[in-house]
Amino acid sequence: MKTIATFGSLLLLSTALVAPAAVAQTATPTAAVVASSSTEGAADTAALDAEAPLDSAADAGGDAEAEIVITGRHIPDAIRATPEVVSVLSAGDIARTGEGDIAGALQRVTGLSVVGGRFVYVRGLGERYSLALLNGSPLPSPEPLRRVIPLDIFPTSMIAGSVVQKSYSANYPGEFGGGVINLTTIGAPEESFLEVGVGLGFDSETTGKLGYTYYGSDTDWTGFDDGTRDLPAGLQAAVDSNKLIVVGPNFSKADIQGFTASLVNAPTTLIQRNRNIPVNTSVSVSGGTSFDLGDTRLGLIASVGYGNSWQTKGGIQQVSGGVSQDTDGSAILRPDQDFRFLSTENRIVVNGLLGLGLEFGEHKLNWTNLYIRDTLKEARIQTGTDDINVGHDLLNIGNTAWFERQLIDTQLVGAFDFEPVTLDVRATYANSQRESPYERSISYRYNDEVQDFINDLRTNGQYARIAFSDLNDNVYAASADLGYAFPASTVKLSGGFAYYKNDRNSTRRDFRYTPLGALPLAVAQQRPDYLLSDFNVYAYDILLTDVSSAAGVAAYEADLEVLAGYAQAEAELVPHLRLTAGVRVEEGRQTVTPIDIFGLGGVDIQPSRIKKTYALPSATLTWNFAEDMQFRLHASKTIARPQFRELAPQQYLDTESDRTFFGNQFLTDSELLNAEARYEFYFGKDQRVSLAGFYKKIDKPIEAVAFEQGGSFFTTFANAPEATLLGAELEVQKYLPLEGFGDGNFWASRRLALIGNYTFTDSKIKVGPNDTTIPVGSGGVPVPASNLFVDGSRMTGQSKHIANIQVGLESTDRLSQQTLMLTYASRRVTNRGPSGQPDLIEEPGLRLDFVAREGITLFGADLELKFEARNLTGENYEEYQTLNTSRIDNNTYDLGRTFSLGLTMKL
């Protein structure tokens, strides 16, 4: 008997899009896919045609006993070829959204939502359950509150694509809750190119309107301070001495007066009105080339970008003092702190990328270097009452801040193909920093007697504070993946090891201006820069007082070291039934050591030490039960470790939420059991329907918990006993040709793009009568978990409903796209309510965006015009508590509609 087997064209998903060990060679032994990386028009996401399916046939004129079997299966979507559940965001998908950063683009992916415009939540799980990689390698975070990196710092111009894998496979790190987001930087091009882009943006709540600013330094517009905010040499030496800076045996009154007077005053203190906030601007330049050196091909790519944007927020900030009774006897909440605020943020982003690629034979080497600097300059004024600390007198509080976030990353990736053996190696070093010098807060209290606001720097509600904080974070990582595909077989074995080390040190020094005697009324009435002038410092003995120890520890060191190895097998058990299974053994050692740098005691500086070894199995069964259809079953075990900042007992003010956070050194790891069932139907090129159900059981999930102390509102963290999450996802992508819709050539090359997804997620925290947890302030002693958590309540950060709809008109032969995008996320809990109060709720709401892209040729140059209109529904930001008829607006402000126009020239 003669057998002839033919296979369709073979597609290997780019190793730039999927971690090398996760790339599937074929969907089945008789299946293949082809993908395209074209970035214009419909070709943005189109796949090239694979071989047409062939059925068995017999030669009627041949030997009757001879049997010719020709088998083929058309798999027109690259997503289907992977052994796991993934969502692919290609360069074309990113371009269609028109987003300037990758966080905005990712919110269009099924099951993903973006919180605060920066952190990606997968299937309603908080950012601690999401893992972000760059080219398969880990990154440090410049955020003090989080180990996960904020994805808004990655401009889309640097990203070639992204894969979101939602089912765990053993080749990925074990910290895998909702999913892993693997970003891929742009690589060396096949042909030389040069692109120059410029953009202008308008915000209806900001541009040309009233806002607040302060001078700072001459070079603030670049995102780099010119040295104005550097600590003066004398004060720097005092800080480095690790001694409490107060008058005493270590520092004299004259010393501290000198430190106080040496601080830059008016440029960092005085808030000024700006009645015409500028437009948003951006510029980018990128280019690349490739050339041959004998049998070796060398590629080079470089990109630089600059963006300067403004946002003014005006709204309400309230804090409830607890549950009280209304006149009818019903329970209500009353605001004990009630402020109206106006804040203007100037954000400057500078980025650069340099990449080198080397191809020789079947082998590839890539060296990628990335630099991102993200600076935020903020001026804020709040006016209102604080009944907890001050009473009913009106307060006026001014804040100025300068936050520098910086990421430097260098990666070396090698992919070697010694058929049937493959070897993929990766090594990376990354450093992130966050500095916040001259973080000022000045409060005036209204005095009825003088009919004016005064600040005597001594009385409740009358103060001037300044803080300096610095965070440095390093990541060292290396991994190797070895694969072997058995010849003439469907079996592929892979295995590897990974090493990861993340170390961090963080310091924060808080000071208060304190006069040794009472200030004259005329001085207390002075504006901030006069009040803190050198003359007053010496005339009225105004001294910096070190209050760092009052805010917890002033410094901490943290370290996480992970050593892992895995083994994985992929095989077709029977025709069209494929199993991918593996196990990862991962040992993690995590420490967070609070440092009582003053040696004063009185602060619980017990270090956190978590050392655990996990065996993390995973298995995915894929059944191609019909032409262009398949069904997946998945099960796995994963973990989630506490983030450094969640463990560190140090105060930190998050300017986005305007809330002070405080770590809990008694947190422990969370363990997850994951299960998923998924049906997929691929009915055409780039067209599909998928329906999935998923379940997660989380042991000891970490939840954000609010509490009040001394009249101040804080957020901390605690392990809940258990939580479950049950959900479903629906995704549809369909293209409709419009060639018969009307006369002329316009419609002949047009198609209608209909893309939509919906995710339903329901989570429940489970609290039994004997369950305990260890909260902040308990000294490590367990307390009943019911003190902090309510049985049956939802997990923090989890939206029950997430939906995205894209309706677009696009050309199939050139760049011409017009897309309407609707995004919805239902309300979610941001914090467990303090002292038995209701939880704090955030309501993202419904947003409508429109993006149009058009390619034209002018004077021999290719141009791309882009117009964006965002938040056309005028959705505002709302975080609140409700109880019966009462509502507390914890943080509510207007979000403007934004419009921008961009032009990119391709040379």
Q: Which of 409-418, 449-458, 856-865 shows the lowest per-residue confidence on average (mean pLDDT)?
A: 856-865
Predicted confidence at residue 13, as pLDDT, reads 29
| CA 524, 527, 529, 534 torsion-angle sign | negative
Predicted confidence at residue 813, as pLDDT, reads 85
* 206 has a pLDDT exceeding 60: yes
Q: How confident is the model at residue 209 (pLDDT cuts 50, 70, 90)?
A: very high
Q: What is the mean pLDDT of residues 631-653?
A: 86
Distance, CA of 481 to CA of 477 (rounded, Å) = 14
User: E strand or H helix at 319, and its extent?
Assistant: strand 296-325
Q: What is the mean pLDDT of residues 114-131?
A: 70
Distance, CA of 614 to CA of 873 (rounded, Å) = 47
* 439 has a pLDDT exceeding 80: yes
Specify the residue for token string 């914090």. Answer: 831
* 383 has a pLDDT exceeding 80: yes
Residue 488 identity: A
Predicted confidence at residue 180, as pLDDT, reads 84
Predicted confidence at residue 1, as pLDDT, reads 40
| CA 40, 113, 22, 49 torsion-angle sign | negative
Q: What is the mean pLDDT of residues 518-540?
A: 96
Q: What is the mean pLDDT of residues 181-196?
A: 82
Higher pLDDT, 699 or 190: 699
| DSSP string over 696-764 | EEEES-EEEEEEEETTEEEEEEEE-SEEEEEEEEEEEEEEEE-TTTSSSHHHHTEEEEEEEEEEEEEEE
Q: How confident is the model at residue 780 (pLDDT cuts 50, 70, 90)?
A: confident
* 417 has a pLDDT exceeding 90: yes
Beta-bridge partners for 119 = 115
Residue 472 identity: N
* 723 has a pLDDT exceeding 50: yes
Mean pLDDT comparison of 105-109, 111-115, 898-902, highest-scoring range = 898-902
- Which stretches does DSSP call E strand in 655-711? 659-661, 670-684, 687-699, 702-709
Distance, CA of 318 to CA of 892 (rounded, Å) = 9
Q: Which of 81, 54, 82 is nearest to 68 (CA)?
A: 54
Q: What is the mean pLDDT of residues 335-341?
A: 93
Q: How confident is the model at residue 273 (pLDDT cuts 50, 70, 90)?
A: very high
pLDDT in tens, 42-64: 333 333 233 333 233 333 334 44
Predicted confidence at residue 550, as pLDDT, reads 62
Phi then psi for residue 602, to 5 deg, are 80, -10
Task: Label each residue of 877-895 as H, E or C.
Answer: EEEEEEECCEEEEEEEECC
Residue 750 and residue 812 in contact, taking contact as beta carbons nearer than 8 Å: yes
Predicted confidence at residue 442, as pLDDT, reads 97
Distance, CA of 436 to CA of 442 (rounded, Å) = 17
* 601 has a pLDDT exceeding 80: no
* 20 has a pLDDT exceeding 50: no
Distance, CA of 384 to CA of 369 (rounded, Å) = 48
Beta-bridge partners for 845 = 825
Mean pLDDT comparison of 4-18, 141-155, 603-617, 739-753, highest-scoring range = 603-617
Specify the residue for token string 């607040």. Answer: 212
pLDDT in tens, 463-508: 999 999 998 999 999 999 999 999 988 899 999 999 999 999 988 8
Cβ-based neighbours of 106, under 8 Å, separated by 6 or more: 89, 112, 114, 120, 151, 162, 164, 181
Q: Which of 4-13, 316-325, 424-433 shows the lowest per-residue confidence on average (mean pLDDT)?
A: 4-13
Q: How confident is the model at residue 563 (pLDDT cuts 50, 70, 90)?
A: very high
Predicted confidence at residue 784, as pLDDT, reads 93
Distance, CA of 112 to CA of 105 (rounded, Å) = 10
Distance, CA of 219 to CA of 212 (rounded, Å) = 18
Q: How confident is the model at residue 798 (pLDDT cuts 50, 70, 90)?
A: confident
| DSSP string over 539-568 | HTTEEEEE-GGGGB-SEEEEEEEEEEEEEE
Distance, CA of 129 to CA of 166 (rounded, Å) = 11
Average of per-residue pLDDT values in the chain: 84
* 212 has a pLDDT exceeding 50: yes
Phi then psi for residue 517, to 5 deg, are -135, 180
Predicted confidence at residue 115, as pLDDT, reads 66
Beta-bridge partners for 416 = 423
Predicted confidence at residue 106, as pLDDT, reads 74
Going by their DSSP bridges, the two strands 886-893 and 272-274 should be labelled as unpaired
Q: What is the pTM of this model?
A: 0.84
Q: What is the mean pLDDT of residues 285-300?
A: 89
Give the three-state DSSP class for 269. helix
Cβ-based neighbours of 509, under 8 Å, separated by 6 or more: 239, 467, 468, 469, 546, 548, 554
* 97 has a pLDDT exceeding 60: yes
Q: How confident is the model at residue 39 (pLDDT cuts 50, 70, 90)?
A: very low
Q: What is the mean pLDDT of residues 573-597?
A: 92
Predicted confidence at residue 494, as pLDDT, reads 97
Q: Which of 18-22, 341-345, 422-426 shows the lowest per-residue confidence on average (mean pLDDT)?
A: 18-22
